[in-house]
């Protein structure tokens, strides 16, 4: 990656203004180069070098200032604690953890500064190299770097490396001390008084120090007093300030030892409790409260009743890829996770009472003093969630007149540097009991009305309510709402707590906000400031149906639109939340066909469109580019090199696996780890061409749909590298690496077979000690080039010619098969007769499903499992011969039916039961043969038959016809019949649903086989491809330039695992990203929200729909009004005729619709395929005028049972009109 592009990614955000201005310097070089060409003389570079020198001075000055600041902080820590084994062992556990956190934070700052120096030196190297390259005769790089850049401290980082090494040594000592303590060595080597500047100044003999330490530990006040009196008398030269600081150290030791006799004496010798030497500016009260909180949290964590969570592991581990910017502390359990709670009678609380009661008047100020973060002891008591400790502190503050709650317990007086009061910290921690104690305290000492009004004016209180709602702390939310927190307060983004509850689907929190508001009325119509979304719109975007139900009950405006003009129903339908969208459609129905369903506001998405984000969090702002509305031939496709698409993370929406998972680092390894900083991962490839991609951790959610593209001549030689690097450093500093060999990363399943499992994980190996430090999960797709002599490009042709009328495409021919019981029999789906019938009735295209047999022959079959075999056999496990002869209609018919089978015929059983015998059916539907019973008996234990109760194109339920191959369709169907070839290839989730083995035909082999057949036989025919499998669509698009590809999607109408197939929004994003012709979506979203058709088309895509609702003319009319390009239907004739009439009329079936279905069913299969369309229509019309209302079978027998429920009166004129329509019907041009 070019330096100019990578520089912004490598910059520390808060220091961005202090880096080399590479872009401006590059512009100066370009201007000088142009000037040299114009003036034909050597350009003047004085201006460039002046600017370069100023950049160098600024970088050097900033680096030196930061380094001095960090070095001063390190010196303070060294003076305070010392960096020796003895001094570290003398630290208390809490103090050691504070020092540990301080050192890690300081090391993180040093590392950022180190990266700052490295990237800037690299910038000066790059810009001087560019100068020498662009300006002829310039040889400035070597001299400039040697004389000016390299002497600067930032160029070598020499002093910085020493400081970091010192910190690492110190952390190593702290880690060893922690390990010794965990191993039980604390009882063998007792802690000693730590080294400090005041202790060094006193210069007391070692034996005196030992006696003093023992007297405090054993709580011997007299010995302690004697030693200190003697020491003070002997060291008159020591200042009172130093001696006071020494006494504060002894006081802390007494508190740690829980001494009750030494404590009053030491307090009597101390004037103020403020400790200047403490790293966090905390006094003894702060430290005691923190010590109690930590001990309580740790003891509760080790309880057998508490399950360890990732949060609690923070106590012993460092979280990788996070900069150590916050003070280290142990994780705190929420109240509902605790096994016990401290009471006023417990020893820690009684000792705190003892300490506070022992304070003098001046020392009491320490209870209200703030540390470096602006926090008082009450903050920590509330944060740890110990009600008894909070009550103790509050009682003493009230007794001493220090409880300032005139503006509430969360007023400005109580807020720390980040604006958080103790009440807020209790809320954030999920401590309802502590929250209630603080609120009760406020109510006890102040008028209720005044505090509630003050709280309603406090944005921080409302922010705490939003945080509690986000964390789903139900009791905390209820407590805050009852306390009068403003539930309608908006944050900087304009969101209220109800917006938060709607986003995360926290139903009970939303119920509390809507119903238990303590006199407030929750406003359901408040808009957030980005898109103008109300809580209802957010709940619809994120698919939370219970929240929508609650808001509907509360009277929310269900038809309110956002600032882009889109309603909640449209947002839900777009994002695949079809159950929610259907519910909203029931509550606010779509206008009837013929009415204007467009919004008064523009449907064209603005620059920041409300339709682009996947969720209300806005996790994706990189909208796929919008293409032209007309697709042209000759898109970019593969000719000689293969394409490798690498996607970081998993495609499975249900998987919780992270894209990059780094192991937690034990605190004992803190000195050697490089993971406790901001990290990025570089994805690159060896043996392939393509730009590496740098991705910051943690990986964002939508990264899987944005693959990284590489090209190679030999995919088997490609190695994918995943390099872990510090974000704010140069690329060359690799922390760890994962490697995947494409030739062996997936299992070899034999000849042209591949596993469907796409997700792959490889370990990340540390660069230093070669230990495994984590793993990276990814998936990849290899697309090989396809060659065919007939594959060509025509510049004057387009994929899609705009037609005046919506095209009708026959679904699986004349329609997919349903269970028996319809008013007329159906032709078998995916059969040649069905395709001819659909074309004759006006279908522009016929749609069918193509799969490969075991011997790689394309056949026409819809289901993945061939139930006709009697077992659940996938198509790719049968040879062509086996597949064709599963359907026994391929075998020659006998001239007469065989003798009755020995078992009892169902008709006989009906007569025995007194039922009327049904009329006999023709041999074509199995009426004269017992084979149908054998077939059903054979299939009854298969998955499809159990699920649906029938099988498509099966005798007895439909007019059965032979299975067909793709070659037969090309040979037997007229060339003017367009083909919509659906490539039927299972995704992993579909294989799981069907209980299939997780393997299939290798993708490239599958697509190449079908493409070969299409180019061999499809000359002159309109052909388009479609598939539900996104990878198949990619292969089809990149292997050839002349046949359009449509992405099929359920659009959320059925559950899927692949995020690309999960919704209409994802389908639009995918098709536009890869320049597909368009999408074929389930029609439910378009019926519920018709304007979504325009969303598809305005994205530059062709829009086609399918589904059973497309068999209703009024539902099709809704889509046609919005400009849908084509509909895939089962009832071809009815929908085609409906499109020629005015929308809005009744959808009741006409008499001739049923009559023509009957005619087509009985007559059409007998019409020779060579006859032209007019002759077929004439034959149909002739047969229709002579047909009686009595049933007729192929063998010429009649039945008194009506063939259909029809009223008499069908006129010959109607039939003539129908014949004329059929005779003049033409296949509209689609793909040329």
Q: Tens of pLDDT along 648-700?
A: 988 887 777 888 888 877 666 666 677 777 788 899 999 999 989 888 887 87
1128 and 1091 share a domain?
A: yes
pLDDT band at 1039 (very low <50, low <70, confident <90, very high): very high
pLDDT, position 668: 60
**Residue 366 domain flag:** no
Closest by CA position to 247, among listed 274, 222, 220: 274
Cβ–Cβ < 8 Å for 859, 875: yes
Q: Are residues 1005 and 916 part of one domain?
A: yes
The token duo for 496 is 């209220």
| Per-residue confidence (pLDDT) for residue 801, from 0 to 100 | 52
Structure confidence at residue 483 (pLDDT): 83
Q: Which residue bears the tokens 């990290």? A: 679
Of 161, 187, 213, which residue constitutes the final position of a domain? Answer: 187
Considering the domain architecture, whether residues 181 and 205 belong to the same structural domain is answered as: no
Q: What is d(CA 425, CA 203) in angstroms, rounded to the nearest whole number?
A: 44
Same domain, 32 and 89: yes
Q: What is the mean pLDDT of residues 1197-1223?
A: 37
CA torsion 691→692→693→695, rounded to 10°? -170
Is residue 1217 assigned to a domain? no
- 613 neighbors 578 (Cβ within 8 angstroms): no
Q: What does the alpha-carbon distance between residue 690 and residue 1037 come to, in Å, rounded to a whole number? A: 20
pLDDT over 70 percentage in the chain? 68
Q: Which residue has the tokens 């403020």?
A: 274
Sequence-ordered list of residues with C-beta below 8 angstroms from that of 1140, at least 6 positions apart, any chain: none
Comparing 551-565, 761-775, 867-881, 1188-1202, which segment has the lowest mean pLDDT?
Answer: 1188-1202
- Can you read off the two tokens belonging to residue 477? 């939310």
845 and 888 together in one domain: yes
Instruction: Taking each helix axis as running N to C, give the angle between helix 448-456 and helix 432-445, from 0 to 180 degrees, rounded to the nearest 10.
Output: 120
Q: Tell me: do 816 and 689 sit in the same domain.
A: no
791: in domain: no
Least confident interval from 612-626, 751-765, 852-866, 877-891 = 612-626
- Per-residue 3-state assignment (H helix, E strand, C coil) for 786-830: CCCCCCCCCCCCECCCCCCCCEEEEECCCCCCCCCCCCCCCECCC
Q: 3-class SS at 1102?
A: strand
Tokens of 1108: 């059973």
Quote the pLDDT of residue 829: 61
How do residues 493-527 score in pLDDT, each as one tens digit? 889 999 999 999 999 999 999 987 777 889 999 99
Q: Residue 978 maps to which CATH number? A: 3.20.20.190
Among the candidates 276, 296, 319, a domain finishes at 276
Residues 965 and 826 in one domain: yes
Domain co-membership, 891 together with 930: yes
The candidate with the shortest Cα–Cα distance to 614, out of 623, 602, 604, is: 623
- Separation between Cα atoms, residue 323 and residue 105, nearest integer Å: 8
Overall average pLDDT of the 19-40 stretch: 84
The least confident of 534-548, 902-916, 967-981 is: 902-916
CB 927 within 8 A of CB 921: yes
Q: How confident is the model at residue 1079 (pLDDT cuts 50, 70, 90)?
A: very high
Q: DSSP character for 147?
A: I
C-beta neighbour count of 600 within 10 angstroms: 7
Paired tokens of 622: 């990189």
Helix (H/G/I), strand (E/B), else coil: 1015: helix
Asked if 460 contacts 430 with a C-beta cutoff of 8 angstroms, the reply is no
pLDDT of residue 67: 92
Q: Is the peptide bond before 698 cis (omega within 30 degrees of 0)?
A: yes
| pLDDT of 1 strictly over 70 | no
Burial (CB < 10 A; 0-12, 13-18, 19+), residue 327, is: middle
Tokens standing for residue 456 = 């309603």
Can you give the CATH number for the domain in which 714 is found? 2.60.40.150
Instruction: Give just the sign of the alpha carbon dihedral 595, 599, 600, 603.
Output: negative
Please report the pLDDT score of residue 728 as a whole number: 72
In a domain, 442, yes or no: no
pLDDT at 89 over 80: no
Of 111-115, 391-395, 563-567, 650-654, the range with the lowest mean pLDDT is 650-654
Q: Can you tell me the distance from the alpha carbon of 1232 to that of 798, in angstroms, rounded to the nearest whole number?
A: 7
Range of the structural domain that residue 894 is part of: 807-1139
The answer to whether the beta carbons of residues 1103 and 1094 sit under 8 Å apart is no
Please tell me the distance from the alpha carbon of residue 1140 to that of residue 294, in angstroms, as a whole number: 78
Residues 768 and 623 sit within 8 Å (Cβ to Cβ): no
Q: Give the other-Cβ count within 10 Å of 1011's Cβ.
A: 22
In a domain, 136, yes or no: yes
Per-residue pLDDT at 593: 46
716 plus 853 within the same structural domain: no
Same domain, 15 and 35: yes
Pull the structure tokens for residue 1037: 């698009």
Write down the number of H helices and E strands in the chain.
Answer: 45, 27
Nearest to residue 113, comparing CAs of 948, 852, 728?
728
Whole-number average pLDDT of the chain? 75
In this structure, what token pair is assigned to residue 1178? Answer: 């004439």
Sign, CA torsion 1139/1143/1147/1150: negative
End-to-end CA distance of the chain: 42
3-state helix, strand, coil in the chain (%, to 5): 45, 10, 40
Instruction: Read off the CATH number of the domain in which 604 is found.
Output: 1.25.40.20
Statement: residue 1201 has pLDDT above 50: no
| Residue 588, in any domain of the structure | yes
Buried b / exposed e over 646-675, threshold 16 CB at 10 Å, is: bbbbbbbbeeeebbbebeebebbbbbebbb
- The pairing of beta strand 760-766 with beta strand 772-783: antiparallel
d(CA 958, CA 943): 20
User: Percent of the chain scored above 90 by pLDDT?
Assistant: 27
Alpha-helical regions (H) of 577-668 = 578-587
Q: Which of 826-840, 844-858, 1178-1192 has the lowest mean pLDDT?
A: 1178-1192
Q: Are strands 978-983 and 845-852 parallel, antiparallel or unpaired?
A: parallel
Domain boundary among the residues 1139, 1162, 1189 is at: 1139
Kindly report the backbone phi and psi dihedral angles of residue 695, in degrees, each rounded to the nearest multiple of 5, phi listed first: -125, 125
Long-range pairs, 772-775, Cβ under 8 A, ≥24? 772/663, 773/320, 773/662, 773/663, 773/675, 773/724, 773/735, 773/736, 774/320, 774/660, 774/661, 774/662, 774/663, 774/724, 774/736, 775/660, 775/661, 775/738
Q: Is residue 1151 in some structural domain?
A: no
d(CA 903, CA 153): 99
Residues 772 and 859 placed together within one structural domain of the fold: no
- Dihedral, CA atoms, 1059, 1063, 1065, 1067, nearest 10 degrees? 70
- If asked whether residues 813 and 689 sit together in one domain, one would say no
**In which band, very low, low, confident or very high, does the pLDDT at 1197 lie, cut at 50, 70 and 90?**
very low
When divided into structural domains, the chain yields a total of 5
Residue 774 has pLDDT above 80, yes or no: yes
424 vs 440: CA distance, rounded Å: 15
Domain for residue 299, yes or no? no
| Cβ pair 880, 855 in contact under 8 A | yes
pLDDT tens readout for residues 574-617: 999 999 999 999 988 655 544 444 544 444 444 335 666 767 76
Cβ neighbours for 1009, distance < 8 A, ≥ 6 positions apart = 852, 856, 858
Instruction: Output phi, psi for 757, to 5 deg.
Output: -65, 115
The dihedral over CA atoms of 890, 892, 893, 898, expressed in degrees to the nearest 10, equals: -100
> What does R_g of the chain's alpha carbons equal in angstroms?
39
Of 365-369, 407-411, 1192-1196, which one has max mean pLDDT?
A: 365-369
């Amino acid at each position: 990656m070019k330096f100019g592009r990578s520089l912004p990614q490598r910059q520390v955000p808060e220091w961005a203004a202090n880096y080399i201005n590479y872009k401006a310097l590059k512009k100066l070089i370009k201007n000088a180069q142009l000037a040299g060409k114009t003036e034909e003389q050597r350009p003047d570079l004085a201006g460039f070098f002046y600017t370069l020198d100023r950049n160098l001075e600024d970088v050097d000055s900033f680096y030196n200032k930061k380094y001095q600041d960090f070095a001063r902080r390190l010196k303070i820590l060294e003076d305070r604690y010392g960096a020796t084994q003895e001094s570290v062992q003398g630290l208390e556990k809490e103090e050691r953890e504070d020092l540990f956190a301080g050192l890690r934070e300081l090391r993180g700052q040093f590392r950022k500064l180190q990266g700052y120096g490295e990237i800037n030196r690299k910038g000066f190297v790059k810009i001087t190299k560019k100068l020498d390259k662009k300006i002829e005769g310039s040889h400035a790089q070597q001299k400039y770097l040697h004389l000016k850049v390299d002497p600067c401290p930032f160029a070598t980082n020499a002093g910085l490396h020493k400081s970091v090494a010192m910190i690492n040594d110190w952390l190593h000592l702290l880690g060893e001390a922690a390990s010794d303590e965990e191993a039980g060595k604390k009882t063998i080597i007792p802690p000693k008084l730590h080294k400090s500047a005041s202790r060094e100044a006193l210069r007391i003999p070692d034996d005196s120090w030992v006696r003093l330490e023992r007297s405090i530990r054993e709580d011997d006040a007299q010995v302690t007093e004697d030693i200190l009196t003697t020491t003070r008398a002997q060291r008159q030269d020591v200042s009172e300030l130093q001696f006071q600081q020494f006494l504060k150290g002894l006081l802390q030791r007494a508190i740690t030892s829980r001494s009750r006799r030494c404590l009053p004496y030491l307090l009597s010798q101390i004037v103020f409790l403020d400790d200047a030497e403490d790293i966090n500016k905390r006094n003894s009260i702060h430290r005691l409260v923190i010590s109690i909180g930590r001990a309580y949290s740790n003891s509760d964590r080790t309880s057998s009743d508490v399950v360890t969570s990732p949060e609690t592991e923070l106590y012993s581990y460092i979280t990788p890829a996070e900069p150590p910017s916050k003070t280290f502390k142990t994780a705190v359990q929420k109240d509902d996770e605790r096994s016990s709670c401290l009471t006023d009678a417990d020893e820690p609380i009684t000792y705190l009472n003892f300490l506070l009661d022992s304070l003098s008047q001046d020392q009491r100020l320490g209870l209200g003093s703030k540390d470096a973060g602006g926090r008082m002891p009450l903050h920590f008591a509330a944060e740890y969630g110990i009600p008894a400790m909070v009550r103790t502190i509050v009682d003493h503050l009230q007794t001493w007149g220090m409880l300032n709650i005139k503006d509430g317990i969360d007023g400005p007086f109580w807020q720390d540097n980040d604006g958080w009061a103790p009440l807020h910290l209790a809320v954030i921690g999920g401590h309802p009991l502590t929250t209630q104690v603080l609120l009760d305290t406020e109510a006890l000492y102040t008028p209720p009305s005044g505090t509630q009004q003050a709280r309603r004016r406090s944005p921080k209180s409302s922010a705490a309510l939003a945080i509690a709602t986000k964390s789903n702390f139900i009791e905390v939310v209820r407590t805050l709402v009852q306390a009068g927190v403003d539930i309608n307060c908006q944050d900087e983004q304009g969101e209220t707590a109800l917006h938060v509850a709607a986003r995360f689907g926290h139903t009970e929190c939303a119920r509390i906000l809507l119903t238990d508001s303590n006199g407030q009325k929750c406003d359901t119509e408040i808009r957030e400031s980005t898109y103008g979304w109300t809580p209802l719109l957010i709940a619809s975007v994120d698919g939370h149906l219970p929240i929508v139900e609650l808001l509907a009950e509360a009277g929310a405006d269900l038809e309110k639109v956002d600032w882009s003009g889109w309603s909640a129903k449209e947002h839900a339908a777009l994002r695949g939340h079809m159950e929610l969208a259907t519910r909203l459609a029931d509550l606010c129905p779509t206008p009837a066909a013929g009415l204007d369903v467009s919004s008064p506001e523009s449907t064209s998405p603005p620059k920041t469109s409300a339709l682009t984000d996947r969720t209300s969090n806005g996790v994706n702002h990189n909208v796929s580019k919008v293409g032209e509305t007309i697709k042209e031939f000759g898109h970019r496709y593969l000719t000689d090199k293969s394409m490798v698409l690498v996607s970081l993370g998993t495609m499975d929406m249900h998987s919780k696996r992270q894209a990059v998972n780094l192991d937690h680092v034990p605190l004992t390894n803190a000195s050697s780890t490089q993971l406790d900083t901001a990290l990025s991962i570089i994805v690159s490839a060896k043996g392939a061409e393509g730009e590496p991609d740098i991705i910051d951790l943690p990986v964002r959610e939508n990264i899987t749909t944005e693959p990284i593209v590489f090209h190679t001549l030999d995919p088997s030689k490609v190695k994918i590298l995943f390099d872990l690097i510090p974000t704010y450093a140069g690329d060359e500093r690799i922390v760890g690496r994962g490697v995947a060999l494409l030739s062996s990363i997936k299992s070899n399943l034999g000849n042209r077979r591949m596993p469907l499992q796409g997700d792959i994980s490889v370990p990340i190996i540390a660069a230093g000690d070669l230990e495994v430090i984590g793993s990276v999960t990814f998936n990849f797709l290899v697309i090989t080039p396809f060659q065919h002599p007939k594959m060509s490009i025509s510049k004057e042709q387009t994929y899609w010619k705009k037609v005046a009328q919506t095209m009708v495409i026959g679904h699986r021919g004349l329609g997919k098969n349903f269970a028996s019981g319809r008013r007329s029999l159906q032709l078998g789906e995916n059969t040649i007769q069905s395709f001819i019938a659909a074309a004759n009735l006006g279908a522009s295209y016929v749609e069918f499903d193509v799969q490969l047999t075991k011997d790689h022959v394309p056949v026409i079959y819809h289901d993945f499992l061939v139930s006709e075999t009697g077992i659940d056999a996938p198509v790719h496990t049968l040879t062509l011969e086996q597949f064709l002869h599963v359907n026994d209609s391929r075998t020659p018919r006998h001239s007469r039916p065989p003798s009755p089978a020995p078992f009892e015929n169902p008709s006989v059983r009906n007569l025995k039961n007194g039922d009327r015998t049904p009329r006999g059916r023709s041999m074509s539907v199995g009426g004269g043969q017992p084979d149908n019973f054998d077939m059903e008996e054979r299939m009854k234990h298969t998955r499809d038959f159990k699920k649906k109760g029938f099988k498509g194109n099966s005798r007895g339920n439909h007019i059965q016809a032979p299975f067909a191959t793709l070659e037969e369709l090309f040979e037997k169907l007229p060339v003017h019949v367009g083909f919509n070839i659906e490539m039927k290839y299972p995704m992993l989730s579909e294989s799981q649903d069907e209980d299939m083995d997780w393997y299939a035909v290798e993708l490239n082999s599958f697509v190449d086989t079908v493409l070969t057949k299409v180019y061999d036989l499809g000359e002159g025919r309109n052909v388009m491809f479609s598939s539900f499998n996104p990878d198949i669509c990619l292969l089809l698009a990149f292997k050839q330039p002349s046949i359009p590809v449509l992405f099929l999607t359920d659009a959320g109408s059925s559950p899927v695992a692949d995020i690309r197939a999960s919704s209409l929004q994802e389908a639009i994003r995918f098709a536009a990203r890869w320049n597909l012709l368009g999408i074929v979506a389930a029609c439910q979203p378009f019926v519920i929200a018709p304007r979504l058709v325009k969303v598809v088309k305005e994205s530059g895509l062709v829009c086609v729909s399918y589904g059973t609702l497309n068999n209703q003319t009024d539902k099709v009319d809704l889509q046609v009004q919005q400009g849908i390009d084509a509909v895939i239907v089962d009832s071809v004739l009815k929908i085609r005729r409906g499109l020629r009439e005015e929308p809005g009329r009744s959808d009741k079936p006409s008499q001739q619709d049923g009559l023509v279905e009957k005619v087509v069913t009985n007559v059409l299969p007998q019409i020779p395929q060579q006859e032209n369309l007019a002759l077929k229509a004439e034959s149909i019309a002739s047969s229709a005028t002579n047909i009686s209302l009595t049933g007729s079978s192929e063998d010429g027998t009649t039945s008194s049972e009506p063939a259909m429920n029809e009223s008499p009166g069908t006129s010959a004129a109607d039939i003539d009109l129908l014949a004329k329509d059929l005779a003049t019907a033409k296949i509209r041009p689609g793909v040329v």
